Amino acid sequence: MQEAACNVNSCFLCSFCIPAWKEAIALHKKTYQFKKGEDIFREGDPVKGIYFIYTGSVKVYKQWGEQKQLILRFAKAGDILGHRGLGGVVEYPIGATALEDSKACFISNDFLEATLKTNHELTYKLMHFYATELQKAEMRMRDLAHMEVKGRVAEALLELRNIFGVNHDQHIAATITRQDIASYAGTTYETVFKFFNELAEEKIITTNGKSIKINDSDRLQQFSKKQS
Amino acid sequence: MQEAACNVNSCFLCSFCIPAWKEAIALHKKTYQFKKGEDIFREGDPVKGIYFIYTGSVKVYKQWGEQKQLILRFAKAGDILGHRGLGGVVEYPIGATALEDSKACFISNDFLEATLKTNHELTYKLMHFYATELQKAEMRMRDLAHMEVKGRVAEALLELRNIFGVNHDQHIAATITRQDIASYAGTTYETVFKFFNELAEEKIITTNGKSIKINDSDRLQQFSKKQS
DNA sequence: CGAGTCGTTGAAAGAATTCAACTTGTGTGG
DNA sequence: CCACACAAGTTGAATTCTTTCAACGACTCG
């Protein structure tokens, strides 16, 4: 990883902080560059601090055995990374890998913890942020437990469009493999592949090599509904 | 639900608060009594505040359709309840039902939010609490996605013993049905039932009507391991 | 041009749920 | 106290869904 310039205003952390602190953080942060596929940190690595994605996108995952992983979330410019390591935990409970070439600001735990002690507005906001993340996680837990595979893949597609948006020709603006979609939906590559074919035949989605376009959100959403 | 006395010291919230606040909270909290099976709040109810369990135990769940639910966690004396409703959310994203006759302290959101603004130590602790909960949720997400059913049920049993401990004859000290265990492990009643028989034959557990004794934690844990 | 990797596909195997039937237990009313 | 009805617990069989496996074709890189 390589150092690079960082616009402090783009950081999640900065976006709601008192101006005085913006100057402080500007002195303490470092910015790193990650190549596509490069690990930002791995599960089990010692926690050193917290990252803010400046450009690019990242997957956050948990490993299961050698081969399988569950992608917990996708993070893009402006998002926090590594905040799961807060609070006395010595090892990251999750791993993060760049999906495309990305830049990330790094703030050491020491500085962050010290800041949280004095900047209460930040602590409060961060608490709310965690609360929201927790809700999302629990929603997804339920989906993984009870929703069937097709529903989860459909959800994953809608979620991806939500997070990354679409580019000029309406394709989801994400650099993402079918394998990653499978890992996000908690299923296998083949299942995703076959379901995509099915969706393409029904013209619900269009796949163009790597990228995906959603033509009919409503019908896609039907798969997420509980069957009677 | 019925009002009852509450020892303020037993509240999670109080346990790490400045003494001055203990007095304040004593004036603002209310204590309610819930019968076994009674709902403390339901998914979709308007968020009014936060609860602390004083005695008894509670299941926190998310509904899926009419019949199915995923139990997110079991809470017992000293635990927080309803904190998922913090942060501008107008409806509880989860429901909570008493597993046995229970008492819970209630603190209104207004008072809590006001307190968080002034009692920064509390905010900080609460933030850490959320961070830990988030980690647990994500661990369980992975398990639900990739671990097979037997592993999840085995985990559930160990977790239950962890949370509720054992009574004099080594049985897990929890009032819990097989259906609830199934809902916690994200599976069906029948599957749990059959697996319990299997475990009992192997003498890994002993079931005595409602209550369960774990004889061989190691072998039980084997089910949670990734198969090669 | 050949090796190897990745994407694609169909068939088989396996796991879990669903369904339906049967048994046991519980409570109520005669 | 017994008989009956209803709910809860137990069980096996069948179905369904998903994964796994293996094979084939296309594409890329050396």
Residue A31: CATH number of its domain: 2.60.120.10
Instruction: Flag whether residue B168 sits within 8 Å of chain A, measured between CB atoms.
Output: no
What DSSP designation does B147 have? Answer: S
For residue A18, pLDDT beyond 60: no
Q: What is the pLDDT of residue A228?
A: 46
Domain boundary among A112, A143, A174: A143
Q: From the list B127, B131, B138, which residue is nearest A94 (CB)? A: B138
Q: Which stretch of DSSP H or E encloses residue B98?
A: strand B95-98
- Residue B86 CA, nucleotide D16 C1', distance (Å): 41
Task: Assess whether A187 (CB) lies less than 7 A from strand D.
Answer: yes
Q: Do B125 and B161 belong to one domain?
A: no
Angstrom CA distances, B10 to B22, B35, B58, B140, B151, stand at: 11, 20, 16, 28, 34
For residue A90, pLDDT beyond 90: no
For residue B209, pLDDT beyond 90: no
Strand partners, B74: B59
Q: What is the pLDDT of residue A4?
A: 45
Instruction: Using an 8 Å CB-CB cutoff, list chain B residues near A123.
Output: 120, 123-124, 127
Instruction: Flag whether residue A114 sits within 8 Å of chain B, measured between CB atoms.
Output: no
Angstrom CA distances, A97 to A104, A176, A179, B107, stand at: 12, 12, 14, 42
Single-letter amino acid code for the residue at B109? N
Closest nucleotide relative to residue A193's CA, C1' based: C8
What confidence tier does B208 reach under pLDDT thresholds 50, 70, 90? confident
Residue indicated by tokens 């398990």: B143
Q: Is residue A168 part of a domain?
A: yes
Q: Do A130 and A207 belong to one domain?
A: no
Tens digits of residue pLDDT in B165-193:
998 889 999 889 999 999 999 999 999 99
What confidence tier does B227 reach under pLDDT thresholds 50, 70, 90? low
Q: Is residue B63 part of a domain?
A: yes
Closest nucleotide relative to residue B195's CA, C1' based: C16
Domain boundary among B143, B175, B207: B143
Q: What is the pLDDT of residue B4?
A: 45
Using DSSP, how many helices (H) and how many strands (E) does chain A show? 8, 11
Q: From the list A70, A123, A142, which residue is nearest B64 (CB)? A: A142
Domain that holds residue A63: 12-143
Nearest CA-CA partner of A141 in B65, B189, B62: B62
Lowest mean per-residue pLDDT among A65-69, A169-173, B23-27, B210-214: B23-27
Section A17-34 average pLDDT: 74
User: Is residue B95 within 8 Å of residue B63, measured between CB atoms?
Assistant: yes
Q: How many contacts does A have with B, using Cβ atoms within 8 A?
A: 129
Residue A212: give its domain's CATH number.
Answer: 1.10.10.10
Domain boundary among A115, A143, A171: A143
Q: Is residue A92 part of a domain?
A: yes
Q: From the list B70, B132, B138, which residue is nearest A87 (CB)? A: B132
Tens digits of residue pLDDT in B77-110:
888 888 876 767 789 999 999 998 898 888 888 8
Q: Do B20 and B108 belong to one domain?
A: yes
Instruction: Flag whether residue B114 sits within 8 Å of chain A, measured between CB atoms.
Output: no
- Residue B186 CA, nucleotide C20 C1', distance (Å): 23
Q: How far apart are CA B186 and CA B172, in angstroms?
A: 20
* Bases of chain D with protein Cβ within 7 A: 9-13, 17-22
Q: How far apart are CA A32 and CA A38, in angstroms?
A: 12
Task: Assess whether B197 (CB) lies less than 7 A from strand D.
Answer: yes
Q: What is the pLDDT of residue B142?
A: 95
Section A168-191 average pLDDT: 93
Q: Do B124 and B65 belong to one domain?
A: yes
Q: Is residue A134 part of a domain?
A: yes
Give the minimum alpha-carbon distance from B44 to chain A in angstroms, rounded to a whole number: 13
Q: Is residue B3 part of a domain?
A: no
User: Is residue B59 within 8 Å of residue B38, measured between CB atoms?
Assistant: no
Instruction: Using an 8 Å CB-CB cutoff, list chain A residues near B68.
Output: 146
Q: Please give the model's pTM, rounded to 2 decimal places.
A: 0.89
What's the structural domain count of chain B?
Answer: 2
List residues with CB under 7 Å of strand C: A 177-179, 189-190, 193-194, 197; B 148-150, 186-188, 190-191, 194
Q: Do A66 and A91 belong to one domain?
A: yes
Q: Chain A neighbours among B 175-194 (CB < 8 Å)?
A: 186
Residues 89-148 of A with CB under 7 A from strand D: 148
Q: Do A119 and A205 belong to one domain?
A: no
Q: What is the pLDDT of residue B20?
A: 60
Q: How far apart are CA B21 and CA B189, in angstroms?
A: 45
Q: Do B87 and B187 belong to one domain?
A: no
Q: Do B93 and B190 belong to one domain?
A: no
Strand partners, A106: A30, A51
Q: What is the pLDDT of residue B6?
A: 45
Q: What percent of chain B has pLDDT over 90?
A: 50
Instruction: Check B124 against A117: CB less than 8 A apart.
Output: yes
Instruction: Using an 8 Å CB-CB cutoff, list chain B residues near A145.
Output: 64, 70, 144, 186
Task: Assess whether A179 (CB) lies less than 7 A from strand D.
Answer: no
Q: From the list A89, A132, A146, which residue is nearest B68 (CB)? A: A146
